[in-house]
Structure 1
Amino acid sequence: MAFQCQRDSYMQEFVTSVVSCSPAELKLENNGKKEKVNGFSVKLKDTILFPEGGGQPDDRGTIGGVPVLRVTRQGPEAIHFVSSALEEGQEVQLKVDWERRFDHMQQHSGQHLITALADSMFGYKTTSWELGRQRCSIELDTATVKPGEMEALEAAVNEKIRAHVPVTVQLLSLDDPTVEKVRSRGLPDDHAGPVRIIDIEGVDANMCCGTHVSNLSHLQVIKILGTEKGKKNKTNLIFLAGNRVLKYAERSYNTEKALVSLLKTGAEEHVDAVDKLQKTVKRLQKTNLTLLRDMAVLIAQKFKNDPEKGNFFSLHNKDGDNEFMNIIANEIGFQDTVIFLTVGEEKGPGLFLLAGPDKFVAELGPRVSELLQGKGAGKNGRFQGKANNLTKRGEVETLLQEHNRKRSAGEE
């Protein structure tokens, strides 16, 4: 069957009835992590909430005021996942998240238009596409595109938008001969009901289940951002359509304003200004590393020249890296001296190095790593790694001093 959202993609509210409601569980993404959510799967007599398909994500909205968290398709049915139960047989009002829906309509119809003209103008076939949250991509069946082609393609698609070309929907039976003539990547295995054809007048006829604009003028504008190397012998075309272009322009302008304030230059000078800053930072980093290496040698020499130095050395320095610590350890020598070094924030993450006699380090290295909530590994009298928290550095130092005292006294 064709859902009401497919018959009229512009309908924002709709009254229907609940066919069934059963307990269900679904994995939903929350801050990048998938979490299991308990809820209910609801089937309706009809729906204006589009279930994902054809490269288009599903809709959001409400059923009787209850938020719909996901819409999927199972054969001819749309399954709505909600957090609260709905009574079977009750009449309910559906509302669609129109901003999300219209955005998907613009991107999806934009993809059809770009795909059709990329094929007719340059012979580039579309093998897949993705409607992303920020941008969309079309995979073209070509290893490269020629200079000027994307600019010509962008001009052509926007010319069609300005021409107010109608977009219509046809519902055909599977045995209709017209079906054989339209562009398609094939029907899903569980397809049921009529075949839906999206016809951009004089441009393209394509088999598709998604929601689309009724006229290309509703796309407003399409911006092709460029191309990227795709899978083997493929090229990804990156584009934005409609309101996404306006939002992109707004974000770009706000970024430009912020850079003008930070760099104290006009927008046309931003690239040169950032390039100069990066070169300056690299020079400073190189100088800083040289100073740190020199400081490591001086630290080690100071300890070695101390007549009361003993056989234990501990140091924390906010700045530094593994090389800084290893220079100190090498300069001091750790065959008879236990060396404990850390760099980073005193109560935050950092790096650590334990050096000393093999047996001592092999025994206490894992314990040091555990106390610093880190991970490390060691061999040949060294155990080093990353620390997630240096708060217990003092406790580690006390532990090492106690064991080193016993080692020196021959108790171990």
Structure 2
Amino acid sequence: MFTKRLYDENSYIREFDARVLSCEEGKNGYEVVLDESAFFPEGGGQPADQGFLNDVRVTDVRDKKDYVLHICSQSLEPGSLVHGRIDWERRFLHMQQHSGEHIFSGIVHRLHGYDNIGFHMGKDFVTVDFSGLLTEEEIAEAERQANTVVLANERILAEYPCARELETLEYRSKKEIDGAVRIVTVPGADVCACCGTHVKRTGEIGPIKVTSSEHYKTGIRLTLEIGWRALEDYEEKHRNVKAISALLSVKPEETAAAVQKQQELMQELRLQNNGLKQRLFEMMVKEIPEGQEKTVIFEDGLNAVEIRKLADMLSERTGLAAVFSGSDGEGYKYVVCSRQKDAAALGKDLNRELNGRGGGKNPMIQGSVQAEKAQIREFFEKVY
């Protein structure tokens, strides 16, 4: 069987007529082969097309070397004629993403000599892995040059050079390719072996924006927003900046400085709060008679570190110190500390009796319980 690949000749074909060569039920649906197809099968990092053959949904498309396999929701009669319709909005997004990635990868290769060693086109963004590291300044420069190519509205060429031309042609390729090699050329940006679909001119791609970077193996992984997705990303961030500027009563361009000021203020308040809590804890400890057998305290609004600190301070004046913070409805976090008694053994009984979780080693245990304050007090009265 052989399928003529219409997308290879013209990636803008949205509808076509074809004859069904075969149809067999498979694991994920009915596997249909056509004599020709404009549906692009998954390959080179680009997802497969979706759409319809007559009224039958095409959910996936796979490349089987000589033919294209369409995974369909229903069977189609072999020998019958069908009308194919591609989900064009989805396809055009993929064309934008793929063409934009070519430009960016080609420019990084030209500027720094790094290879594109991984490319994934996700639902909301594109990730590209490069074989070397890039600074923020180098990423910004590659992005600027890529958008310059987009604005130049250069024509993108997809051709099959003859063997003699290939021998002298310098082009990017992730793997060795046998037979005819399809070369995609973006003037001023990239020459690359590629089987994917692309826009006709770079101006159709729209903006290219790097939104994040991270180390990956010995190189770097970049996340790109391209075309309509870049505009959607900008719109979302613009709405967020406007909301933040309104909350802080500053102009949008002043939000970063205003947030920095808020952080500094919060740090000052946090230090003041820590100082006040330290004084409160010291006052609470002084109120405990020295040598008291046990002390059980409930204090609202303490975090785990503060609970532990208060329990440790109390244990210097009492045989056993237990500090709880929380509520009857949501439960309590706790720390039990003792320099005289077996706190670890007590913790096992406490967790069993009060529906708790946690533990530790002497002299301190910590965890949480789902019990009411009265039940907790009753437990300590009964145990000690």
Write out per-residue CA displacement over residues 360-406 of structure 1, whole angstroms, 9 at most, x where no aligned residue.
4253255368x24x5x2311043313x5xx6x3228x637735752x
CA distance in 2, matches of 1:145, 1:55: 25
TM superposition shift of 1:105: 0.9
Alignment match of 1:44 (pick from 33, 42, 45): 33
Aligned to 2:251: 266
Classify 1:128/1:297 alpha carbon distance in 2 versus 1 (closer, same or farther; 3 Å): same
> Residue in 2 aligned with 1:384?
366
Question: Which of 181, 194, 199 pairs up with 1:208?
Answer: 194
Q: Which residue of 2 aligns with 1:398?
A: 375
Is 1:164 aligned to residue 153 of structure 2?
Answer: yes
Residues 170-181 of structure 1: matches in 2 within 5 Å?
Answer: 170-171=159-160, 176-180=163-167, 181=169
Q: 1:92 to 1:229 in 2, by over 3 A?
A: same
Give the deviation of 1:264 after TM superposition: 0.8
Distance 1:146 1:288 in 2: 38
**Equivalent position of 1:59 in the other structure:** 49
CA contact (8 A) 1:171 1:197 kept: yes
Question: Does the 8 A contact of 2:131 with 2:218 survive in 1?
Answer: yes
Q: Does 1:9 align with 2:11?
A: yes
How far apart, CA to CA, are the structure 1 residues paired with 2:310 and 2:194?
Answer: 67
Q: 1:74 to 1:285 in 2, by over 3 A?
A: farther
Give the corresponding residue for 2:23. Answer: 20
Question: Deviation of residue 87 (structure 1)?
Answer: 4.5
Alignment CA distance shift 1:342-1:96 (3 Å): farther
- Which of 197, 212, 219 pairs up with 1:234? 219
Distance (whole Å) between structure 1 residues aligned to residue 323 and residue 30 of structure 2: 57
CA contact (8 A) 1:293 1:324 kept: no
In 2, distance between residues paired with 1:80 and 1:344? 58
Q: What is the aligned-residue identity percentage? A: 24
> Under a length normalisation based on structure 1, what TM-score does the superposition of the two structures give?
0.73
Ranges of 4+ aligned residues in structure 1 off by more than 6 Å: none
Match of 1:186 in 2: 175
8 A Cα contact 2:331 2:372, kept in partner: no
For residues 294 and 81 of structure 1, the distance between their equivalents in structure 2, rounded to whole angstroms, comes to 71
Q: Which string of whole-angstrom CA distances, capped at 9 and with x for unpartnered residues, describes residues 206-230 of structure 1?
A: 211211112222223434x488463
Residue identity in the other structure for 2:298: L
Name structure 2 gaps, 5 residues minimum: none
Indicate the residue corresponding to 1:35 in structure 2: none
Quote how far apart the aligned CAs of 1:91 are: 5.5
Please, which runs of 5 or more residues in structure 1 have no aligned partner? 25-38
Deviation of residue 117 (structure 1)?
3.4
- Mapped to 2, the partners of 1:209 and 1:88 lie a distance apart of 30
CA distance in 2, matches of 1:244, 1:260: 24
Q: Residues 119 and 379 (structure 1 numbering): CA distance in 2 closer, same or farther, change over 3 Å?
A: closer
Verify the 8 A CA contact 1:365 1:378 in the aligned structure 2: no
Work out the CA distance in 1 between the residues paired with 2:24 and 2:238: 48
Aligned length: 374
Q: TM (normalized to structure 2)? A: 0.77
* Counterpart residue number, 2:279: 294
- The question of 1:327 aligning with 2:309 is answered yes
Query: C-alpha displacement at 1:77, in angstroms?
Result: 5.2
| CA-CA distance at 1:109 after TM superposition | 1.0
Instruction: Give per-residue Cα distances to partners, 1:271-300, cap 9 Å, x unaligned.
Output: 221111011111122222333333344444
Q: Is the 8 A contact 2:331 2:371 kept in 1?
A: no
Amino acid of the structure 1 residue aligned with 2:46: Q
**Other structure's SS at 1:313 match:** strand
Offset, 1:137: 4.3
How many angstroms apart in 2 are the aligned matches of 1:339 and 1:66?
71
What's the offset of the Cα at 1:338? Answer: 5.9
RMSD of aligned alpha carbons: 4.0
Match of 2:231 among 235, 246, 249: 246
SS at match of 2:230: helix
Change in CA separation of 1:119 and 1:381 when aligned onto 2, cut-off 3 Å: closer
C-alpha separation in 2, matches of 1:126 and 1:167: 19
Once the two structures are superposed, residues 44-88 of structure 1 have per-residue CA deviations (whole angstroms, 9 ceiling, x without a partner) of 325444333212233344455565555444555555556x44355
Q: How many Å apart are 1:343 and its aligned residue?
A: 3.0
Residues 334 and 166 of structure 1: is their aligned pair in 2 closer, same or farther, counting only changes over 3 Å? same
Q: Which residue of 2 aligns with 1:219?
A: 205
